[in-house]
Chain A
């Protein structure tokens, strides 16, 4: 079974600064998807960014970008120009494209604090 590890339970960053959230995963598959979800205090789960494993180019969405290192099984999220509204729990998730259980496998999350 795949596992997703987020080694930083909590991170803090000054407003307007850049922060990187770490995620590693364990898999024997070559094709899969990776995601970052944001959960603000409203508790809604919001997709931030997705990456297809077959794509070498790192995904970007405005101030959010990833550093996808397939060989190292690493998928970090960089948030540039941090804003107060970025304060939330961030979850890294993996989806297999092979057989087995469907759905996403999530990490335990990183709580991001934005200091004004």
Chain B
């Protein structure tokens, strides 16, 4: 089983719908991240969390919210999806104090029609 698991792997939804992307990890890392990948733009940081009580906005947080339900779980919500939120979303984790490598989930491809 993957150390960082994202669900769903793929989702097609309609404009205005609420969508939640979920992430769980078994690596025991305290830091978790949500990134968005668009063709030609690389990966951009949406939100990150140092622990359950510490959540921070990243570069492109508008239109998104997150919840850190437990050390191992970090979910991303789109309250009212719009077509320009169509993208590949990655969850990642990192262990505090080490070299800074991120461990990624397998990605969730979201299409908003």
Enumerate chain A interface residues (CB-CB to B < 8 A): 4, 9, 33, 35, 42-45, 47, 50, 52, 91, 95, 97, 101-109
Task: Indicate if the CB atoms of B45 and A101 lie closer than 8 Å.
Answer: yes
Contact of A106 among B42, B99, B101, B109 (CB under 8 A): B42
Q: Secondary structure of the A side of the interface? A: loop
Task: Indicate if the CB atoms of B43 and A106 lie closer than 8 Å.
Answer: yes
Cβ of B33: which chain A residues have Cβ within 8 Å of it? Answer: 102-103
Task: Indicate if the CB atoms of B59 and A52 lie closer than 8 Å.
Answer: no
Classify chain B's interface size.
20 to 34
Task: Indicate if the CB atoms of B88 and A103 lie closer than 8 Å.
Answer: no
Q: Secondary structure of the B side of the interface? A: strand
Nearest residue, chain B, Cβ from A105: B45
Enumerate chain B interface residues (CB-CB to A < 8 A): 31, 33, 35, 40-45, 48, 50, 56, 58-59, 88, 90, 92, 94, 99-102, 104, 106-107, 109
